[in-house]
Amino acid sequence: MKISEKLKKQSRVFSFEFYPPKKEEDIPFLKKAVEELKTLSPDFVSITQSPTALSGLNFASLSSTLALSGVLKHEFSLEVMAHLTCVTLKNREMLDEAVKLLKIFGLENVLALRGDSAAVEFEKPIFSRACELARELKSRGAFDIAAACYPEKHPEAVSLEADIDNLKRKMDCGASFAITQLFLDNASYFSFREKCLARGVTIPIIPGIMPVTGLSQLTNFAERIKVKIPARLLAALEKLSPADAEGGPETKAAIRDFGIAYAAGQCRELLKNGAPGIHFYTLNRSKATSAVLNLVKKEIKGTANSI
């Protein structure tokens, strides 16, 4: 089922994002996380197409990622949104094969992304912008197209306004909804949503949330994707974290519990103020995400949503 149809029928949707295993020994962790999170009846799940997980960004890697999406759809009976990046599509033949695989695996939901521009080395891809890929996919079949967006702007964008204009181009080229990069301060989402409406972006914008389970994890992510850490969150984690080490089991549990409570608070406020759902970045782990969603479920018990 197309995700845009679910967004029209339901007051909210919940989804989980996984990434392809980098090594064979990582596969059991992914399958375990998928099995455990499936019990929460997500409206859809997605599989990233991270350059770090793709050997040379060749088509064998691309097809393996799409095949993994097919496995989640058919083996686990999940609605899957496949990721497709411009940087992996070096020529029309690769594009044709990618579209063919999407149809073979029954993947009708696609997140169209530019991908990491640093991964483009020798061969220029056929598309340089996600909006171009979205338009092409829309013309090639009955795909439901999603777009990525950035409440604190994409690191390479000249301004937030320019980034929102880019999101509108994606919408105009066929994207029917958007999913945000993770953020840690809900104010950034609410402000972003208002600015999007003011600039003509009318598609649903699903907020992306990641439960924090460690201070180093948080600071590394924040630096890599250029998101701000609220002072109150950083102060709380620093207070819980030992200065010289990761700490023992009690410390780790305290940090995890705080991160779960913080993420659940984010979700409650977002849903209360009209967010169309929550997209959880799971890091291929299930416990923290399950705990957050179970807390949120108590607040929305009795709604029309299946969760």
Residues 6+ apart with CB under 8 A from 161: 195, 199
Three-class DSSP category at 47 = strand
- Check if the beta carbon of residue 118 is closer than 8 Å to that of residue 152: no
| Tokens 């970045």 belong to residue | 281
- Check if the beta carbon of residue 112 is closer than 8 Å to that of residue 147: yes
- Check if the beta carbon of residue 44 is closer than 8 Å to that of residue 80: yes
- Give how far the C-alpha of residue 186 lies from the chain's centroid of Cα atoms, to the nearest Å: 17
Candidate list 5, 17, 24, 132, residue with the active-site label: 17
Nearest to 10 by CA among 90, 79, 72, 74: 79
Question: Is 17 a catalytic site residue?
Answer: yes
How far is residue 151's CA from residue 153's CA, in Å, rounded to a whole number? 5
Residues labelled catalytic: 17
